[in-house]
Structure 1
């Protein structure tokens, strides 16, 4: 009944109901003018998007802590349990680009709200699940809903703050992402311990419902492209096939099946790229993305820096517990150093990017990440905890400086009509980077440790995996730094995607 009521209200409002501001049924230009003149309306939009940006990483990371309890309660084997985070990520990746294109065509607010409604229904379904299969279905649906509102949030903020202050606003959005990532394990552990794993999902319902109500009643106007195009459903099918084959290949390395799957994914990707140049209205015009050098290099920088960081963060958590002998709670407290610095610096970096070149701030951020990985190369079984803190501090400062200016610069390089697909591409580059980083760690762990439990006899091997991952990550961070710095002479072209 709750979902039905929200849908009815949503449909009613979109029929053109007017309020005192008269902005429920207006053109995109009128919407832009309204937000340009109304500071409180811009703040309301920022709060709505920040809620969604906080909930998505919270939903992903909180469930990780509850996984052992879910496995015991639902009597699920290790393979099925491993799909609890994987199905969320996979469905999120598949949905990002189609929802971004749909947002530009049918309205960003509309897609954002429907994404929130799907996420709400999926959260309730996950919390009420009585079998692992049922839970996996609703977790996948959660990933779909999250892609629709989370992937669309950058586009809404970029449009609302297009006349000024975009960097500062995106800084707060990025800060909420980092807070969600940091709070997830703490939230998931506490709720699971006191109320059970079901409430890890059900506890999100009030926050999602709040976001839906605020979106309907306070996010006025709409953003729709003046030249909308049909959604390329066959292109969506090809994209989904590529992501699934890539996902299977990367997560099963170094098995023979993984090699076959990766070869298949390369052939599908080639087909997708060729087709995008041959049809009139593809899912994404890759040629225009590549020709827009500022935007494409921002995507390259983001992909490489996230590919380098994700595996290192995971392995440092293991290193603190196994090699240095810290408890899980102690390790978590040290890892918070990075998250707190990222959340604190991101809004400051965003505000600075409104006044100083975004490429310069992003380059400095990537440089700080390079320093972090260089420091991590010196970690061993007898390292001081202060060396770990220094590496995490450099990493937190680096990401805080890099993320917001890079995102703001990328969104500023794309026309207003294509902000939705641009926002989706930025988020997709981040997730693909994380997927490659995860694949590297999985492959190295399989080669050096295999199926054995991590016992004292394997601590040296774990350290070796960490060092190889850090060297790979260092190379990725250097590439990201040069990709950011190479934008210093590039002029904004505002091309469509």
Structure 2
């Protein structure tokens, strides 16, 4: 067995780096207006700073989970941490937008190497009756990091400049490396083949879809060059992704995406749900950041303080929810959290006007923190509960990949939606030319339309949480408690190759 005497120090060491890479998913949202102004770029280009990171993060995840199985999660985690930390330094030193986008893509690859290893280690060193508490910590880190990102970003942008949202990762990366090196155990490895064709197909398909969605407004949803159109790119990307799935079904060696894992109903459900959560969480902070800084004229720090109730409530409650989900069906915990999150964001969308009192905007922030605290841990615990140790790396890679795919699509979609709503609400007005954080709000004749556009954009996040709640309510199956190391009755049977690998 892979159970160790003191698993908690190992988990705490891993979540230092995990917290850092998740903070970087949203920390740029509050810095985007300042980056746009300082690097003299436009809204679509600056959102690529987030999308490039998420693409670099999402595409390799399926194979990085396998790398952890093959070479050991500790080694792969440390390698990813080095890549992430050095790329963070590159981001901070970037002097123009294309260099920053490239550095963020490399940073995403480092994050992709790290993330599956955290879930795989939990699945392999904690018995099932303690995984809820462990996933509670993991879920707390995931939820709080996503919400703390904008707050930390605001403080750093105001005090030191936007570059420091990346420079801060360097000392944290060093501490995380030392902690993981000393505290995380070396776990047994399993032989794997690597499906490089699957990697290429998934990368091309994802890039074409994301580029088409995010750049559609730039090209007026028409021709890009010659016969190539925006819709042609999106359709081609979807066809390539369909080809990727077909290849996984017919790959007789070892598929990158083990479709057999989805025979477990709760694993399949959790993957659908977490992709919608990723979409909603990525689509949420950007319209709010622009509303606070552009429409209301707040500085980055002042705008960041508006997110404090989310982070505080989520941070306090997430560990408690993880322990609670060990005692009751996690389905109902997740359903409550998702429903509250959707209601909170709907409240935000309704309140975004240039004259609404700031205290009123703190209320949906607190409710959103309450909702988020009940989302990550129950979904993660449900996803990994029935996975046998030999499939832990592959399963955690798939789960994390689906979340990041949702985040990538959310980043691309929110860019397109914000551009569209601004064009509808402010026809003929260059709202992107507004310089945020100068202490002056937009003129009254522009501020109302800008605020309405940001509120309308938030409905993408509302829809993500609401649809996810419906999926959980209708399709989730009561959890199955299993003995340590044994798959539950709904767990997918490992194929002959995986069984042989595990026995070896």
TM-score (ref. length: structure 1): 0.82
Picking from 186, 200, 203, the partner of 1:240 is: 203
Cα shift readout 1:364-411 (whole Å, capped 9, x = no counterpart): 111212332443454253545454333222221111111111111111
* Aligned-partner SS, 1:488: coil
Matching residue of 2:470: 482
Partners of 1:487 and 1:289 lie apart in 2 by 16
CA drift at 1:164: 3.3
Cα shift at 1:300: 1.2
Which residue matches 1:350?
Answer: 322
Is 2:502 the counterpart of 1:494? Answer: no
Alignment of 1:115-194 (within 5 A): 115-128=80-93, 134-191=99-156
Q: Whose RCO is larger (CA < 8 A, sep 6+)?
A: 2
Hey, what does 2:374 align to over in structure 1? 401
The aligned counterpart of 1:249 is 212
1:70 to partner: Cα distance: 6.3
Aligned-partner SS, 1:229: coil
Does 2:447 match 1:453? Answer: no
Q: Distance in 2 between matches of 1:316 and 1:96?
A: 29
1:100 and 1:76, CA in 2 relative to 1: closer, same or farther beyond 3 A?
farther
CA contact (8 A) 1:307 1:473 kept: yes
Q: In the aligned structure 2, how far is the partner of 1:176 from the partner of 1:137? A: 27
1:113-170: CA deviations, max 9, x gaps? 2111222332344445566655544332221111111232122123222343222222
Q: Which segment is superposed worse, 75-84 or 105-114? A: 75-84
Compute the displacement of 1:331 (Å).
3.1
Mapped to 1, the partners of 2:96 and 2:211 lie a distance apart of 24
Please give the secondary structure, in 2, of the residue aligned with 1:220: coil
**Aligned pairs, how many?**
459
Measure how far apart 1:231 and its partner are: 0.6
Q: Greater share of helix residues, 1 or 2?
A: 1
CA contact (8 A) 1:366 1:399 kept: yes
Deviates more, 1:453-462 or 1:342-351: 453-462
How many Å separate the matches in 2 of 1:120 and 1:285? Answer: 28
Contact 1:119 1:145 in 2 (8 A): yes
Pairing partner for 2:282 from 310, 315, 328: 310
Indicate which of 245, 248, 266 corresponds to 1:273.
245
Gaps of 5+ in 1: 1-28
Root mean square deviation of aligned Cα = 3.1
Which ranges of structure 2 fall in alignment gaps of 5 or more residues? Answer: 223-228, 424-428, 433-441, 481-487, 496-504
